[in-house]
Amino acid sequence: MKPLADSIRPNSIEEVVGQEHLLGKGKILNKMLSTGKITNSIFYGPPGVGKTTVANLMAKASNKSFYKLNATNASLKDIKDIVDELDSLMNLNGVILYLDEIQNFNKKQQQSLLEFMENGKITLIASTTENPFHYVYKAILSRSAVFEFKPIGHEHIEIALERALELAKKDFKNINIKADKKILSYIATLSDGDLRRAINILELCINTTDINDQGILNIDEEVVKNCCAAKILNYDGNGESHYDILSAFQKSIRGSHVDASLHYLARLIKVGDLISICRRLLVIAAEDIGLAYPNAITIVKSCTDAAMQLGFPEAKIPLAEAVILLATAPKSNSALVAIDRALEDLEKSYISEIPSNIRDGHYKGAESLGRMQNYKYPHDYPNSYIQQQYMPSSIEGNTYYEPGNNKLERNAKEYWDKIKGKI
């Protein structure tokens, strides 16, 4: 018996659930399927969202021969075998090559397809779970349209599960399979946008549940929990999802949205990425809170040290403390802006020598070189301040630091403006 996920694979565009932004009426892939004019394409998105299904439908619509390779285990020989058949009678209309997981092909393997993409003998439909702009050879990208497939919406997964359940009931003619909408909704939640996973959970429940005396196979929440221990999140520790979550995490804290910050922290905790959490929290304390609350980095360092020492699950507590502190703290990026301006000057400006009065004079012969001869020791003057030259002459007057609009920095500015006689 075929797997349930394969049995319900759509045979027409009308049966496909989700991806309305690509397959809806008037959308680009819908138009390709209706005309049969298929272009080189790269399908990018998480597992179980319909990439293979749409590729099959495009091959069917094009009236071309269909070949399928998985780059995980395919080789140059597999490509050569397809190329050798291009001029055969069965391939007169051309070939559609569906290359799954194209990111696993090296540059040479990807380049081997270019000539045949150019002359139209091969129409490439490649799929990948990784961002193609990071992993696919640029010459392939320039000859292909990139289509991003989104996770399947909860309501669409429920619709597909209802179809799968009806099909399963036909296969098990003498058994009454029962799974109400609440259970299907629960399975949809566990799948996290992966339709294939949702159907596989349902199939596992059907295949492993005992039939009662009344001939009923009842799928309840306990059955589902036994078949699926935990929800699996779409996360790759070294891939795009990793950086997307970290980016959302920092931007939510920077934007002072406590609940969103905790949501992305929870995602990172769920996958056990303790090192990334701690590193990012320390960066945020310096970059986004900065001088508005300088003690934040000290507190965050204590929280992250505690988290590293505790490990999960207890590490979640000091991490949550740090996140809430940072999200609710006043914000200032003045330190980041200041150091970036100083670094930019080093790249773009002529920098003259360090003024002699502040160069090192603690060695024999320094006096003859004029080192530190006119240096004025600030602590010998009122308020420990005296005006003298510190910047190289070529950039004297350049300003890097501008105080942020927060209480601490405003007070510091007011203090120094008074000392320096500016107010």
Q: Quote the CA–CA distance of 266 and 285 in Å, as a whole number.
A: 19
CATH code assigned at 61: 3.40.50.300
| Residue-level pLDDT at 279 | 95
Residue 50 backbone class (left: φ over 0; alpha: ψ -120 to 50; beta: rest): left
User: Do 24 and 132 reside in the same domain of the chain?
Assistant: yes
Q: What percent of the chain has pLDDT over 90?
A: 42
| Residue-level pLDDT at 392 | 93
- Which tens digits make up the pLDDT trace of 38-50? 899 999 988 889 8
- Which tens digits make up the pLDDT trace of 284-317? 999 999 999 999 999 999 999 999 999 999 999 9
Q: Quote the CA–CA distance of 284 and 265 in Å, as a whole number.
A: 13
DSSP annotation string for 379-420: GGSGGG------S-GGGTT-------SSHHHHHHHHHHHHHT
Q: Model's pTM, two decimal places? A: 0.67
DSSP H helix total and E strand total for the chain: 20, 7
Cβ within 8 Å of residue 115, ≥6 positions away = none
In-domain check, residue 195: yes
| Residue 241 predicted with pLDDT over 80 | no
CATH code assigned at 371: 1.10.3710.10
If one counts every other C-beta atom within 10 angstroms of the C-beta of residue 106, the result is 10
In-domain check, residue 280: yes
User: Do 265 and 217 reside in the same domain of the chain?
Assistant: no
User: Do 30 and 143 reside in the same domain of the chain?
Assistant: yes
In-domain check, residue 390: yes
In-domain check, residue 30: yes
In-domain check, residue 411: yes
- Which tens digits make up the pLDDT trace of 183-232? 898 888 888 788 888 898 888 888 888 887 777 888 888 888 888 765 55
User: Do 30 and 98 reside in the same domain of the chain?
Assistant: yes
Q: Quote the CA–CA distance of 339 and 401 in Å, as a whole number.
A: 8
User: Do 144 and 158 reside in the same domain of the chain?
Assistant: no
CATH code assigned at 211: 1.10.8.60
The domain boundary residue, chosen from 193, 227, 261: 227
- Count structural domains, the chain: 4
Q: In a 3-state reduction of DSSP, which class is residue 284?
A: helix
User: Do 63 and 143 reside in the same domain of the chain?
Assistant: yes
Q: Quote the CA–CA distance of 133 and 142 in Å, as a whole number.
A: 10
User: Do 27 and 141 reside in the same domain of the chain?
Assistant: yes
CATH code assigned at 285: 1.20.272.10
User: Do 322 and 374 reside in the same domain of the chain?
Assistant: no
The sign of the dihedral angle between the CA atoms of 9, 14, 17, 23 is positive
Quick one: which of 152, 57, 146, 43 has its CA closest to 99?
A: 43
In-domain check, residue 74: yes
Domain containing 361 equals 347-419
User: Do 132 and 245 reside in the same domain of the chain?
Assistant: no
Residue 383 backbone class (left: φ over 0; alpha: ψ -120 to 50; beta: rest): left
Range scoring the smallest mean pLDDT among 107-111, 140-144, 263-267:
107-111
User: Do 26 and 139 reside in the same domain of the chain?
Assistant: yes
Give the mean pLDDT of 251-261: 96
The domain boundary residue, chosen from 148, 180, 215: 148
User: Do 197 and 252 reside in the same domain of the chain?
Assistant: no
Q: How confident is the model at residue 362 (pLDDT cuts 50, 70, 90)?
A: confident
The domain boundary residue, chosen from 168, 195, 227: 227
* Residue 97 or residue 281, greater confidence: 281
| Residue-level pLDDT at 191 | 83
User: Do 89 and 30 reside in the same domain of the chain?
Assistant: yes
| Residue-level pLDDT at 366 | 78
